[in-house]
Amino acid sequence: MWLLGGIVVGLIALSLLNPASNATEITYSEFVEYVEDGFVKEVVINSQTGFIEGEYSEAFEGNESGSDTFVTTGNDEFSDIDRDLFVEKNVAYRFVNPQPGFLASWLPLLLPISLLILFFWWMQRRAQGQMGGIMSIGRSKAKTYSTERPGTTFEDVAGYAGVKEEINEVVDFLKNPGRFAEIGARSPKGILLVGPPGTGKTLIARAVAGEAGVPFLSVTGSDFMEMFVGVGASRVRDLFDSARKMGKAIIFVDEIDSIGRKRGAGLGGGHDEREQTLNQMLSEMDGFEAHEGIVMIAATNRPDILDPALLRPGRFDRQVIVPLPELDDRRQILDVHVRGRKIDSDVDLDLVARGTPGMSGADLANLVNEAALHAVRGGDNVIRASHFDSARDRVLMGAKRESTALSESEKEAVAYHESGHALCAALLPTADPLHKVTIIPSGMALGVTMQLPEEERHIYRQDYIEDRLVVMLGGRMAEELVFGIGSTGANDDLVRGTEMATKMVREWGMSEVIGPMAWGSQGQVFLGDEMMSTKDYSDDTARVIDKEIQRILRDQETRCRELLTENRNALDLLARQLLEHETISGAEVDRLIDVANAPGPGSTTSDTDDTGLVANTGAAVLGVGADTPESSS
């Protein structure tokens, strides 16, 4: 920019040094001819350049431009012949030797010097900025929000009345500390928001910023981490110093598990920079006084990996659980996300809320957006109930893979596989009701059997879990029963079934041989954690656990085989209908089972060509038989 400005100034100066003239430019031969004809009155000759400026006489009438003056260029040396000619024709002439002015003399030199000085000045300013950035590396990167920018409030957070009540208590303390001080109550120094991803922990923290009426400092756990050891601790000190200067303030640390992990855990010890950062945070929080009016709020979805010193009273006094939304919460969340969208009158949000158990707030937001996208693709100007159904299938099962072409034998195998899942789900007493069966490839699956829970479940009985295992094994057993051999399509079913049977034995005490004993999850949080700890049970107990897991799976496999054998006619009928229609609703499956089990010579035939498929507006959250083409090794 400075360089461009200097060039512009130089061009302006040069234009001032060479003012424009309206004199007529002629050749030297024309000039001599005009002198001989007596048309030249006066000339001025530059003795250095030979440049001639002249004025026409009154007798000259051939100038079409109307100018009284002319210019031309002669020889460097003025000859005696020309001098005698001027004298003979009475032409007044004079020689000039112009001297350049100060600006004209020094501008060619000053301009590059000025540009060079500006360049070095710019380089110095840039270097100072870089040094300033290095010196400020230990400063906190927290964003400060004041009362002038409240942004989100509790009204924007749908549902979670209990969570908002606990958080609002902290807001009330910061607004009216005297009311709590009268009875000797003090506000918690730290509140930890714990919940699955997508439940709105950060949104709740933003609502606190809007409701508190005090400065709100927001930072993420990764903002403390740098390649230099000690930078994170310096930023923690700067963060708390900034909060103390504000008097009353709320500090929010998102994803605190990135710096609050257990110290010294895992193979090779801990992370020096992270541990120093955590130590500094523990020190700062422990140094708080109740009257300081500074409250720390943190959010995480991994409380199991946090350091115990961080969770003790006096630091994070209170843990607030932000669970997956219940039915009423989901209904309120849907109301928030459909604001500003054109919704058709046939959309029943109560039905959508009942059909989405287990979905988080982020999942519901994605569901509404997918429904809007389906409406746009279909050319509709409003979102209809059918769009919500398509969006639910897209979210739960993945996009349909229309380009996947299965051979007739593969398609038949998938049809029997999904029919086995569907038949077990429809006949078992405690299994979740069947919602839909499809053999259209979706996502990574070649076919999907979806079930819809009738109600919210918080605990699971053993008979319900065993029925789920039977449903998972139904696809593999149907293939073996019909074709006499299994396939790789049951890979996902076997993996999930084995995991569930393992939890029944190791964690849930559902084995008579093992008894009321539990050893927790097998999953390790840190690399090498299992190597650094001893097992809670002996090798003999491990063999018993393996046998019990195998026994449970074998027992449910036997139940599944007996169930499918007794209902072989229904299995064949379901498979034929899937091959013909590709998708069958849960109600249609029940009707086909009744047709297959009805007495009479035509009991095994199908008369469903004109029945149509029953639409179900509920969403399925349990997809069994998500058969993938990958084989297990």
Cβ(232)–Cβ(266) below 8 Å:
no
Q: What is the 3-state secondary structure (H, E, C) of 322-387?
A: CCCCCHHHHHHHHHHHCCCCCECCCCCHHHHHHCCCCCCHHHHHHHHHHHHHHHHHCCCCCECHHH
* Upper half-sphere CA count for residue 633 (Cβ side, 13 Å): 0
Task: For residues 367 and 359, give the distance between their C-alpha atoms in angstroms, rounded to a whole number.
Answer: 10
Largest CA distance in the chain: 143
Catalytic site residue 566? no
Residue ranges of alpha helices (H) inside 18-101 are 28-36, 80-88
- Amino acid letter, 119: F
Active-site residue, from 275, 370, 418, 588:
418
In terms of Cβ atoms closer than 10 Å to its own Cβ (0-12, 13-18, 19+), residue 102 is exposed
Please report, to the nearest 10 degrees, the dihedral formed by the alpha carbons of residues 498, 502, 508, 513 taken in order. 120
Which pair of structure tokens corresponds to residue 346?
A: 């046939």
Question: Could you tell me which residues come within 8 angstroms of residue 243 by beta carbon, excluding any fewer than 6 positions away?
Answer: 215, 217, 249, 251, 294
Task: For residues 313 and 189, give the distance between their C-alpha atoms in angstroms, rounded to a whole number.
Answer: 9
Task: For residues 34 and 25, give the distance between their C-alpha atoms in angstroms, rounded to a whole number.
Answer: 13
Q: What is the DSSP secondary-structure string of 122-152?
A: HHHHHHHHHHHHHHTTTS--PEEE-TT----
Let me know how long the chain is.
633
Cβ(140)–Cβ(235) below 8 Å:
yes
Which pair of structure tokens corresponds to residue 307?
A: 């350091």
Active site residues: 418
